[in-house]
Amino acid sequence: MGIFSVLVVRAFASLFCRKVAKDYSHPEVKKQQDEDKKMRLQGQNPDAAQDGDFMSEAKDWAGELISGQTGTGRILVCLVFILSISSLVIYFIDASSDGVETCIPWLENTTQQIDLAFNIFFMVYFFIRFIAASDKFWFMLELYSFVDYFTIPPSFVSIYLDRTWIGLRFLRALRLMTVPDILQYLNILKTSTSIRLAQLISIFISVWLTAAGIIHLLENSGDPPYFTNSQSLSYWNCVYFLMVTMSTVGYGDIACVTALGRGFQVLFLLVGLALFAGSIPEIIDIVKTFPKYNGTYLSDRGRRHIVVCGHITYESVSHFLKDFLHEDREDVDVEVVFLHRTPPGLELEGLIKRHFTTVTFFQGSIMNTVDLQRVKVHEADACLVLANKYCPDPDAEDAANIMRVISMKNYCEESRIIIQLMQYHNKAYLLNIPSWDWKQGDDVICLAELKLGFIAQSCLAPGFSTMMANLFAMRSGEPSDDMQAWQNDYIQGTGCEMYTETLSPTFTGMTFSQASELCFVKLKLLLLAVEVRPDDGGDTKISINPRGSKIPANTVGFFIAQSAEEVKRAWYYCKACHEDVKNENQIKKCKCKNFIGGMMVHSVLKSQQIGQHITTDGKPVQPNGVAATKSGLQPPPTAVAKTGSPVKKSVSMKEESAPEIVPENPRAPIRQDPMRNGHPVIVQPASDFDFEKTEMKYDSTGMFHWTPARSIDDCILDRNQAAMTVLNGHVVVCLFAHSDSPLIGLRNLVMPLRASNFHFHELKHVVIVGAVDYIKREWKTLQNLPKISVLNGSPLSRADLRAVNVNLCDMCVILSAKVPSNDDPTLADKEAILASLNIKAMTFGDIITNIESMGDSKDALNNMGDTTVKRPGPIYGTNVPMITELVNDSNVQFLDQDDDDDPDTELYLTQPFACGTAFAVSVLDSLMSTTYFNQNALTLIRSLITGGATPELEIILAEGAGLRGGYSTPDTLSHRDRCRVGQISLSDGPLATFGEGRKYQDLFVASLRNYGMLCIGLYRLRDAALTTVDATSKRYVITNPPFDFGLLPTDQVYVLLPFERKQSRFSFSETEV
């Protein structure tokens, strides 16, 4: 009837209600209509507005209401869906009973009453849709209009007849097809795959349930006109029957008996079979494509989490987790959330499952705001970006990682970011990010800078790169009876790591030397540096082995120890409670007022008493309470006072005169002139300030030596020129590179060797052997650094190596800038390995070289038996000091043909790495977790490795113009006063007596008190039976040996040397203490 009414109205209007059209063409009519509409919007032409203004407003209102464009519209659409499903549920309840028609009075039928209320709402919604329809005729033929035709009227008829007929109410199941639209309104479905999946499932289920309702109605009613051949089937049996039929299984336990039911079944098979065969496979394919790791991170209350992104592979994740979750770290209650655009492989998935309590993986892009929200970057304790160290294009890798940082900072400015970068020059782009703030914890680990910095320090102290790499990497360091003696010594040292802890009030007022001595002798800890806050309240700075200054309260110290638990002794130590404790493991937290008060005045006085006012038998003692002796520092059996009574523990200051102690040597040595006018005169030695201020010898920051820019042509040597040049005690850099190879940043190798805490005559000449076309691209960053020469040749040419006196060098560095091949990555180190083996196979006995005279050398370490003493070089290439950079860790097995390392041995356990002759960039992976747990640790490592890089220098280098020269001022010259790495021999010099069976503690204390040098490790011959340093042998690194470790005459000691402004040699004589 509805359709018929619409047709009649339209026919009547077309015949009798036509307006007289003006003689306008179609474009003119449209133009006129647009002008009329514009005038109506402006409130003009009211006569024209009367025709359709009310209907237009009603139509617009109804259209907005049902379209879901407004909040009210979304609520209405969702309400219609909910009520449709509720009406369908009522149908399920009624259809579960026998029969399709019952004679229950309407007032007693609760389900019918509820259904009537729903249908009244549906009728109102039908009229709203009718008003909003542009074409009323086609609206009457819509699917949902037919649903309303067959479901709304029966509810009203049942009131009149007092009979309940199920009828066609099952058509409400077709409303399930609107589920995708509803979910999009609610912003639940956001991707095309999820929307398509929802559409397929909703169409399949709605057709299935609707067809089941038809079978239920036809089979329970029977065939007309008598309806006598019906069968009793529940609705759910019909649902089961249709699924069996659509799937072509056909069990036969249920079948249609009516003609209408069978006829419908035949027609439905054509549709249902096609629907089943088409929808189910597509649904399965979409489900397979759905990311398995596409959820949202749910953080536990009170538990921190970090987000790790970038280069996520099994190797990078396993190395990261091994260090991050190491047992030596104290209470690592941090969950690691990995975010990567591709799902994990089987190996990585297995690794994640093994750490399921602390590791979670999500698939997504760090560039997508939705994915950042899923992993809760705004709540993360830090975000770590890993770089692909083996990528063919380092600049592209850095650019991608910097974009990840920009994305995270754009999402949450307060996020703490720690990023790995390949190239040093790309650090400048991070400074362009407005929210990048070093002071808030943002940090960058530049692999090229640190890698070459480690190698540069090995040029000054062979093996130092191995020691530092082991310090910031978490390793167990458990010796074994199955290992050789040298391996056990090395393994024990690898268990040492760098930790920070606040010094107890006992240390307040001490000098660094006194505190370091107390920590080593009493607490069995190595205090390396302290965090210093300037008097002006500026940013804190890390001072390594400082001289002269006193330690203020609440100072943070940097320690080398086996675990974080050991370092707590520095915070627990109390003079009043622990002075007599012999076992360092018994130093626990005490409850005396000195420890609790912390910063009380009497604690300060007490620490001064420890440093200056303790006597034993009338002799000056060390801060640890052990008396000093002439031959060294051997502790007496029992410390007693001069009167014979035991020393009293007193918290207050003693009223006695302070005994004389050994000076800390905070300034240049002084000399005493003969008597002048009857009085001795103390005169400071001549300073080099006047010389320095006349020319620009240092860069503008005063941290590095500087020279005016030189052309590379002025520094290029040919083979003959190199052979005629006096080269001895220099550094040879064997560089493999093509003209278009990625830049590795040679500046990072040379700058640490040009630090201003070296005097100019101490700088080692650097000779680069390689393709000059490549070096020209690097030269812009090297042109302002002095003492650099270039030999255009091949590192594999023995003639070129002999020309640069490789046998007389202090270190031969083998580097490669070539891109690893994707076909076989293990061949990435072929040139470096060949060069190493080539040098080892060379002999130099028949070659006459120019040797610099020892008398002309003013090396500050000559009298200390330093290894840089100018002497004839070795005869065999196996004795040439060498360090080889490797890309692939497994290739370390090819460097030494006489080692017995298993091919699967970890890099740090191999003989070349233990000896300091091999270095791989993979050892820097541990710096990510080290930086997260302690940001100052990276600052300490960087300042020690790079020779003194500062944020000011970073800004200057970011300009791309290289180092700038600066005039020497007292402020810039003061920057030279910082320690540097050195290596002292025990075979001769003033420390030679300690190599004669003395203990490491004696050497540590004497070096610290007499020379201000901080000993941090040993470099020992692998074959302890050898007694001469010239013998063919290899050395290995021992990090922070135990206090009772025996010394050998052939040992070499790693020390942190203070800067001496005086350019003359040290006058080392063992001071009596």
Task: Check residue 220 and give its pLDDT.
Answer: 86
Neighbour count for residue 1013 (Cβ, 10 Å): 24
Q: Cβ distance 451 to 924 under 8 Å?
A: yes
Helix (H, G, I), strand (E, B) or coil at 622: coil
Q: Is 678 exposed, middle or buried (0-12, 13-18, 19+ CB in 10 A)?
A: exposed
Q: Which residues of the chain have pLDDT under 70?
A: 1-53, 68, 98-99, 101-102, 291, 330-331, 477, 535-538, 593-695, 822-823, 846-873, 898-901, 960-961, 1024-1033, 1061-1073
Distance separating the N- and C-terminal Cα atoms of the chain? 119
What residues does 704 pair with on adjacent strands?
Answer: 755
Task: Check residue 642 and give its pLDDT.
Answer: 31
- Tell me how many degrees the CA angle 578-512-863 measures, rounded to the nearest 5: 120
In terms of Cα–Cα distance, which of 235, 171, 178, 168 is closest to 201?
Answer: 178
Which residue type occupies 298?
Answer: L
Q: DSSP assignment of 91-124, as one string? A: HHHHHTSSSSEE---GGG-HHHHHHHHHHHHHHH
- C-alpha 255: how far from its chain's center? 66
CA separation for the pair 348, 354 (Å, rounded) = 10
**Helix or strand run (H / E) with residue 1057:** strand 1052-1057
Task: Check residue 972 and give its pLDDT.
Answer: 80
Helix (H, G, I), strand (E, B) or coil at 405: helix
pTM value? 0.71
Task: Check residue 45 and give its pLDDT.
Answer: 52
**Helix or strand run (H / E) with residue 383:** strand 382-386
Task: Check residue 330 and give its pLDDT.
Answer: 67
Task: Check residue 686 and give its pLDDT.
Answer: 39
In terms of Cα–Cα distance, which of 668, 665, 663 is closest to 973?
Answer: 668
Task: Check residue 558 and give its pLDDT.
Answer: 92
Which residue type occupies 945?
Answer: I
How would you classify the pairing of strands 882-886 and 918-920? parallel
In terms of Cα–Cα distance, which of 218, 242, 247, 219 is closest to 232?
Answer: 219
CA separation for the pair 44, 31 (Å, rounded) = 17
**Which one-letter DSSP state was computed for residue 357?**
T
Q: DSSP assignment of 446-493, as one string? A: EHHHHHHHHHHHHHHSTTHHHHHHHHSS-------TTS-HHHHHHHHH
Start-end of H helices in 178-258: 179-185, 192-221, 235-246
State the Cα torsion 323-326-328-332 to the nearest 10°: 110
CA separation for the pair 160, 952 (Å, rounded) = 92
Q: Cβ distance 610 to 579 under 8 Å?
A: no
Rg (CA), the chain: 43
Q: Is 581 exposed, middle or buried (0-12, 13-18, 19+ CB in 10 A)?
A: middle
Task: Check residue 791 and give its pLDDT.
Answer: 93
Task: Check residue 615 and give its pLDDT.
Answer: 31
* CB hemisphere CA count around 853 (13 angstroms): 2
